[in-house]
Chains A and B, each alone.
Chain A
Amino acid sequence: MSNELIDFVIVSVALLAIGIYGLSVKRNFIRMLFAIEIIINAANLNLVAFARFLPHSGGQTFALFSIAIAAAEVAVGLALIIVAYRMYKNIDVADFRSLKG
Chain B
Amino acid sequence: MVDSLFLGIAVLTIVSAIAALEMRSLIYGGIALMGTLGGIAGFFILLDSPFVALFQIAVYVGSIAVLILFTIMLVKNELIFQKKEDPKRRYAGIALMLILMISLGAVIFNSGLSSITTEEPPVDYKEIGEDFLIYYWPALIAMALVLSGSITGAMILARRQDGVEDEQRTD
Q: Which residues of A pack against B, CB within 8 Å?
A: 1-11, 13-22, 24-28, 30-31, 33-35, 37-38, 41, 44-45, 48-49, 51-58, 60-61, 63-65, 67-76, 78-83, 85-86, 89-92
| CB of A59 to closest CB in B, whole Å | 8
Complex Cα gap A18–B119 (Å): 32
Contact A13 B150 (CB under 8 A): no
- Residues of B within 8 Å of A54, CB to CB, are 118
Interface centre among A44, A57, A65, A82 (most CB of B within 10 A): A57
Given contacts A51-B123, A82-B71, contact A11 B105 (CB under 8 A): no
Given contacts A41-B40, A89-B76, contact A31 B118 (CB under 8 A): no
- Residues of B within 8 Å of A76, CB to CB, are 150, 153-154, 157
Q: Which of B59, B108, B153 contacts A67 (CB 8 A)?
A: B59
Contact A52 B68 (CB under 8 A): no
Chain B residues 109-149 with CB under 8 Å of chain A are: 109, 113-114, 116-124, 127-128, 130-132, 136, 139, 143, 146-147
Chain B window 61-88, contacts with chain A (Cβ cutoff 8 Å), 1 for yes, 0 for no: 0011001100110111001001111000
Name the residue on A nearest B111 (C-beta): A6
Contact B147 A64 (CB under 8 A): no
Interface residues on B, range: 35 or more
Pick 30 A–B contacts, CB within 8 A, sort by A: A3-B1, A3-B3, A11-B13, A11-B43, A13-B100, A13-B101, A13-B104, A13-B105, A14-B14, A16-B100, A17-B98, A18-B14, A28-B83, A34-B29, A38-B20, A41-B36, A44-B52, A48-B49, A52-B48, A57-B123, A57-B127, A57-B131, A63-B49, A67-B52, A71-B64, A72-B151, A73-B150, A82-B74, A92-B82, A92-B84
Q: Which of A37, A61, A85 contacts B128 (CB 8 A)?
A: A61
Compute the total of residue contacts between A and B using a CB distance below 8 Å.
Answer: 240
Chain B window 27-61, contacts with chain A (Cβ cutoff 8 Å), 1 for yes, 0 for no: 00110010011001001101111011001100110
Q: Known pairs A22-B21, A52-B48, A52-B123. 10 more at Cβ < 8 A?
A: A13-B104, A15-B14, A16-B104, A24-B89, A25-B85, A30-B68, A57-B130, A68-B143, A75-B151, A83-B158
- Majority secondary structure of chain A interface residues (helix, strand, loop or mixed): helix
Complex Cα gap A30–B148 (Å): 23
Given contacts A6-B116, A18-B17, A41-B37, contact A57 B128 (CB under 8 A): yes
- Counting from the closest, the 10 A-B pairs by CB-CB distance are A25-B93, A72-B150, A79-B154, A57-B127, A21-B97, A79-B157, A61-B131, A79-B158, A22-B21, A75-B154
